[in-house]
Structure 1
Amino acid sequence: MFPQSGKSIVFDNFPDPTETWEIIETIGKGTYGKVYKVLNKADGSKAAVKILDPIHDIDEEIEAEYNILKALSDHANVVKFYGMFYKKDVKCGDQLWLVLELCNGGSVTDLAKGMLKRGERMDEAIIAFILHQALMGLQHLHVNHTIHRDVKGNNILLTTHGGIKLVDFGVSAQLTNTRLRRNTSVGTPFWMAPEVIACEQQLDSTYDARCDVWSLGITAIELDPHTPHTPC
């Protein structure tokens, strides 16, 4: 399914984005670049683009994100991937454009914070729906031997029609038949599973896809911080 580890991406194989897409506005920031809303010049449709710049040598994180999006974005709970583009710019530096589905509803973190400011709490049924849909997306990744490794509210987006989408695969990892566990400490600290954090100090520590489930559990607390939570 995925290219062999270390196989480089040939930039010249990707089309120039300016022939198809026009930047409208900045909408956020991902792990490795800013995110913009773009307009398709041909049909008027809108999308989101993560621009990675300047690009000199592609690193394994960017290559992994491209490969994961290309292979696994065909699921209802994973952001759709519309393609990679390469913009040559001698003056400002070359750019890689990852064009993705536009999720106008923002993140579930934004939703929770907005309700909190209004003195409201997210209904349990809504939280359950968000978590269930996110779990479906994670199941899709896990059965395809991929760990997200940065599950949190900011990486779970809402579509205009209430769809739930996992995004930002900049630190995701592929598992193989010869490497069923990982030992690199990555992610956002407050959401990281204990076994992932342990990798910083214990070189023999490893983890698997279950670390995503822990992170989703922390996300549940994030969505309803007023509910008492009993530690295990």
Structure 2
Amino acid sequence: MGEHSRIMEPSFEMLPLTGKTIIFDSFPDPSDTWEIIETIGKGTYGKVFKVLNKKNGSKAAVKILDPVHDIDEEIEAEYNILKALSDHPNVVKFYGMYYKKDVKNGDQLWLVLELCNGGSVTDLVKGFLKRGERMNELIIAYILREALMGLQHLHENKTIHRDIKGNNILLTTEGGVKLVDFGHYFIVQQPTVNIMIPFRRWKIFIFHYPPILLMRFI
């Protein structure tokens, strides 16, 4: 491997996401609890809907992964991290995973999450730009503080998000700031020093990579 394809930095020994952790038959059918209201958007693995809880009238968001056999380790990763760490005010709440059998159209996996109906930070920035306005520094500071508190929660539990960007920081109409999309996370096992980490192992968008490290590849 060439000189510029590795990075020499204090780093961590990390646990790769391998193996199947989702047992579909163990999840309940969503039909008894959730009713689809409207489409919110479309993600990498399927559509996102607003749903109504038939039992208590609350609303949530659901990612419907269809067909279920296309699921990969990133979906499993998101399920595992949400199940373990969504008990923080700056991490999107996880309401459960459901499995819907459909012989005609293919089985579906429902990932039910907190409804963040304030849009993403990216949406917020685009709105200001469209109006020709600048975002107030107090708003910026507030969002950064809340997002960092969510990251601190992850780091205290030896978890690295690895895909922080505007689209993955959602807002609620009550002023909540929530980290979402944990498909690229890593669990830190123990700190080590001077470990050579191949550049290709990191699933980081080039525009979010630290400039000081990018300079090593020029």
Structure 1: segments with no counterpart, 5+ residues: 202-232
For residues 33 and 191 of structure 1, the distance between their equivalents in structure 2, rounded to whole angstroms, comes to 25
For residues 19 and 10 of structure 1, the distance between their equivalents in structure 2, rounded to whole angstroms, comes to 20
Instruction: Answer whether contact 2:51 2:59 (CA < 8 A) is retained.
Output: yes
Aligned length: 197
**Among 202, 213, 218, which residue is 1:185 paired with?**
202
Map of 2:40 onto structure 1: 27
Instruction: Answer whether contact 1:54 1:94 (CA < 8 A) is retained.
Output: yes
Stretches of 4+ moved more than 3 A in 1?
Answer: 177-183, 192-198
TM-score (norm 1): 0.76
Instruction: Give 1:7 deviation, angstroms.
Output: 4.3
**Among 25, 32, 38, which residue is 2:51 paired with?**
38
* CA separation of 1:54 and 1:37: change in aligned 2, threshold 3 A: same
**Among 106, 116, 119, which residue is 2:129 paired with?**
116
Deviations 1:41-79 (CA, angstroms, capped at 9, x unpaired): 111110000111111264221111100000000001000
Secondary structure of the equivalent of 2:69? coil
Structure possessing the higher radius of gyration over alpha carbons: 2
For residues 157 and 168 of structure 2, the distance between their equivalents in structure 1, rounded to whole angstroms, comes to 20
Deviations 1:100-155 (CA, angstroms, capped at 9, x unpaired): 00011111111111111111110111101101110110111112121111111111
Instruction: Give 1:8 deviation, angstroms.
Output: 2.7
**Among 27, 31, 36, which residue is 1:18 paired with?**
31
TM-score (norm 2): 0.81
Q: Percent identity?
A: 73
Instruction: Give 1:31 deviation, angstroms.
Output: 3.8
Q: Which one-letter code corresponds to 1:168 in the other structure? A: D
Confirm whether residue 138 of structure 1 aligns to residue 147 of structure 2.
no
For residues 146 and 70 of structure 2, the distance between their equivalents in structure 1, rounded to whole angstroms, comes to 36
Deviations 1:198-229 (CA, angstroms, capped at 9, x unpaired): 9xx9xxxxxxxxxxxxxxxxxxxxxxxxxxxx
**Among 61, 75, 78, which residue is 2:74 paired with?**
61
Structure 2: segments with no counterpart, 5+ residues: 1-16
For residues 179 and 155 of structure 1, the distance between their equivalents in structure 2, rounded to whole angstroms, comes to 29
Counterparts of 1:45-56 in structure 2 under 5 Å?
Answer: 45-56=58-69
Map of 1:210 onto structure 2: none
Instruction: Give 1:168 deviation, angstroms.
Output: 1.1
**Among 7, 11, 21, which residue is 1:8 paired with?**
21
Instruction: Give 1:158 deviation, angstroms.
Output: 0.8
Secondary structure of the equivalent of 2:163? coil
Instruction: Give 1:156 deviation, angstroms.
Output: 0.6
For residues 91 and 34 of structure 2, the distance between their equivalents in structure 1, rounded to whole angstroms, comes to 22
Map of 1:229 onto structure 2: none
Greater strand share, 1 or 2?
2
Deviations 1:5-50 (CA, angstroms, capped at 9, x unpaired): 5243111110011111111111123343321111111111100001
Give me the CA root mean square deviation: 2.6
Secondary structure of the equivalent of 1:24? strand
Instruction: Give 1:192 deviation, angstroms.
Output: 3.3
Q: Which one-letter code corresponds to 2:186 in the other structure? A: A
Deviations 1:160-219 (CA, angstroms, capped at 9, x unpaired): 110100011122222224999875231433223469979xx9xxxxxxxxxxxxxxxxxx
For residues 30 and 73 of structure 1, the distance between their equivalents in structure 2, rounded to whole angstroms, comes to 20
Map of 2:182 onto structure 1: 169
Map of 2:109 onto structure 1: 96
Structure with bigger RCO (C-alpha 8 Å, 6+ apart): 2
